[in-house]
Structure 1
Amino acid sequence: MNNTYISKKLVSSTINTISNLALTNFKIDNLNFDYEGFTFELDKLTFKSRLAKKTPKKKGYFVAFWQKNESNENIPFDYDTIEDKLIINIIDNEKIGQFIFPKNILKEKGVITSNKSKGKMAMRVYPSWVSNLNTTAKGTQRWQTKYFVDLSNDFNQEKLYPLYFR
């Protein structure tokens, strides 16, 4: 397996700018290899990371995240077993950013399985630079924006730190 995911380099360098901590317990998620899936720990918090892909026909970026059940079927992540945070990395030429979603928000929005929702195995994310969206996508972008940091140039470390560590 390739340990040189570009998204791992992005996550590591981002964390290095806001703390002196290093990623521990790094593990590649072979099931989500196409999306550079991996998990790690940082200061007692657990993280799941994915690299989103730009799609030619729809605005925003697409990312898949799923696991296998006992019957080897693909199923959504579950609130009780998912890591504390889901990082979705965007690397699109000069446009670079990260969504850092806490699992309680993913539960609230029906992205992961809980007693309220069956969950999803993929989603579309809309960084701040994506515009001219339809009404549904605008609504999604609105709630996602609180968890997004544009890393393309200078970025707001004060916004980034709490997304990782709170």
Structure 2
Amino acid sequence: MKSINILKDSLGNFEILNYEEQNSEYEGMVIQLASNNKIVRSRLAKKTPKKDGYFVAFWEKDNLNINQPFSDLDTPEALVILIDDEGKQGIFFIPKEVAVKNRILSNENQKGKMAMRFYPSWCKNLNSTAQKTQSWQLNYFKEY
């Protein structure tokens, strides 16, 4: 898994608590960081040929086997999105509260998202919607 090396380089040692098979295409897993014992959910984003940015899915099945966004009630402390693109690498480390504020996680007041795009600092010439998204995302991005 490509994401394991990126995670080790950027966050240090960790223990894999769970592979999230429903998002295996994005190397989905839940890990516990050795440095501070934080539990985070990680995904490796994919570059898409026709749109700028990197696409990633994060969802789970409910008890009726229907896809649904992650809930803020049972989500780890952060969402980690990894970018690896021809020598450009970076990591978005999005705290749970920020994921709620930006409507990524569901709660009683909002639906949440099952997928979205992430825009690292090297993404330029974005449309206005993507620029707005990038402006908050970059506060949580580190390039490697």
Name the TM-score, length of structure 2 as normaliser.
0.95
What is the SS of the residue equivalent to 1:116?
coil
Q: CA deviation at 1:25?
A: 4.2
- Judging by fraction of residues, say which structure has more strand: 2
Equivalent-residue separation in structure 1 for 2:25 and 2:130 (angstroms)? 24
Matched, 1:12 2:8: yes
* Identity across matched positions, percent: 42
Decide which of 14, 38, 43 is 1:23's aligned counterpart.
14
Decide which of 87, 101, 115 is 2:80's aligned counterpart.
87
Aligned length: 142
RMSD between superposed Cα atoms in Å? 1.0
Structure 2's unaligned 5+ residue stretches are none
Equivalent-residue separation in structure 2 for 1:36 and 1:74 (angstroms)? 17
Alignment of 1:70-149 (within 5 A): 70-149=63-142
Structure 1's unaligned 5+ residue stretches are 17-21, 152-166
Equivalent-residue separation in structure 2 for 1:131 and 1:95 (angstroms)? 14
Report if the CA contact (8 A) 1:79-1:103 is conserved. Answer: yes
What is the SS of the residue equivalent to 1:14?
helix
Equivalent-residue separation in structure 2 for 1:44 and 1:26 (angstroms)? 12
Equivalent-residue separation in structure 2 for 1:36 and 1:24 (angstroms)? 15
| One-letter amino acid matched to 1:9 | N
Name the TM-score, length of structure 1 as normaliser.
0.83
Q: Which runs of 4+ in 1 moved over 3 A?
A: none
Q: Select the structure of larger CA radius of gyration.
A: 1
